[in-house]
Chain A
């Protein structure tokens, strides 16, 4: 317990050391720590934000997917409808065409029949005249009897 000038030496050393710490050590480390704390806080906030963004994006993606499916289904429906329509109209066209062809053929046949009948009528009238000539055993003036013949032809 002897006090001596060591007191002054130690006091002086302490003043210098505390001053040095205050000036050149503490502020640097304190600043580094504080800045890093801010950085970490920012990083955590950013992570939270991106998590939210991700959730939002996922929701949006699901929404888009659903819409696309709906649209596809709609298109498919439309296509089916259109297909039915095309098939129907094709059927109608074909039927109409067939009817037209049938009608044409019918008309031709009728014309042919008519013509054949005229031919037949003429031949029959010639035959009738010839027959009548034979029956009368004489030459009949065909022109004189033409009116009769025409009547006959019209009756046939």
Chain B
């Protein structure tokens, strides 16, 4: 690479974006990488594309297993899929005791999807972007979970579900009471309670998404730094990838588990 280390890192952290400009929708280019910076109506084509692609792969694999699912002796593929289903199901059942048709499939989708997104982190950092570069695409971030938009979109969706189920189960009155009469059950403490409970409520989606984003972003950055080290990168990359194998699973699991926990809390009356 002819670039400097700073340029190399910056290049790897730049999304391929499309945004509306005076001349219509336009991609950012190598000449003008920051074309869409600050624009809200911009899409990170690379992370969004990989995210949707991986989501479709998840749906395709699981749909195939679901269609061929037999109650008799299952094949190895079905066993593997059922292993994942059972893993998610047992975790959901341990945490959530009510009746809800959404939580388990939501947990499964989040777990597998986030895992697949994180898995992209293990592909050496230059392979796919290098390939894209050769094809004339200047920037390509392939790990969707290193994009704060992706993680926030997921955690905010969960947040909406938390609010929805809180109101559905406890009613608007119950939910308001939970926000205003806790932890100090006195009318004079309502403003204080509101601040405390409101912060706790808002902390849920923020911590959920920033935890995943931070872990994956840091991991990706270290992969990029290792990739700068010449021949030394081979053992280092191997070691870090080994550790990261654990991290990507753990982060997917935590995202799923916290989603389930938050939603089961939303179902509980205090």
Contact = CB atoms under 8 A, between A and B. Distances in A.
A1 interface: yes
Nearest to B88: A26
Contacts of A25: 59, 62-63, 66, 105, 108
Interface stretch (A15-23, A68-76, A126-134): A15-23
Contacts of B147: 6
Q: Decide if the interface of chain B is mainly helix, strand, loop or mixed.
A: helix
B39 interface: yes
A28 B62 CA distance: 10
A4 B113 contact: no
Interface string A5-48: 11111110111011011101110111111011001000000000
Interface stretch (B44-52, B125-133, B166-174): B44-52
B156 A33 contact: no
Nearest to B73: A36
Interface stretch (B79-87, B183-191, B225-233, B242-250): B79-87
Contacts of A35: 71
B157 interface: yes
Contacts of A20: 59, 63
* A interface residue count range (under 10 / 10 to 19 / 20 to 34 / 35 or more): 20 to 34
Given A17-B109, A26-B104, A32-B69, A5 B43 contact: yes
B57 to A, nearest CB: 11
Given A4-B40, A22-B102, A39 B71 contact: yes
A11 B44 CA distance: 13
Contacts of A22: 101-102, 105-106
A55 to B, nearest CB: 29
B148 A3 contact: yes
Contacts of B19: 4
Contacts of A39: 71-72
Contacts of B106: 18, 21-22
Nearest to A33: B82
B105 A2 contact: no
A2 B43 contact: no
B224 to A, nearest CB: 17
A6 B108 contact: no
B153 A14 contact: yes
Nearest to A11: B153
A108 to B, nearest CB: 102
Contacts of A17: 55, 58-59, 109, 113
A36 B72 contact: yes
Contacts of B89: 30
B41 A10 contact: no
A26 B43 contact: no
B215 interface: no
Contacts of A11: 153-154, 156-157
B36 interface: yes
Nearest to A4: B42
Interface in B23-81: 36-44, 47-48, 51-52, 55, 58-59, 62-63, 65-67, 69-72, 74, 81
Q: Which 3 A-B pairs have the closest CB atoms?
A: A10-B153, A6-B149, A32-B69
Interface of B: 17, 19, 36-44, 47-48, 51-52, 55, 58-59, 62-63, 65-67, 69-72, 74, 81-82, 85-86, 89, 101-102, 104-106, 108-109, 113, 147-150, 152-154, 156-157
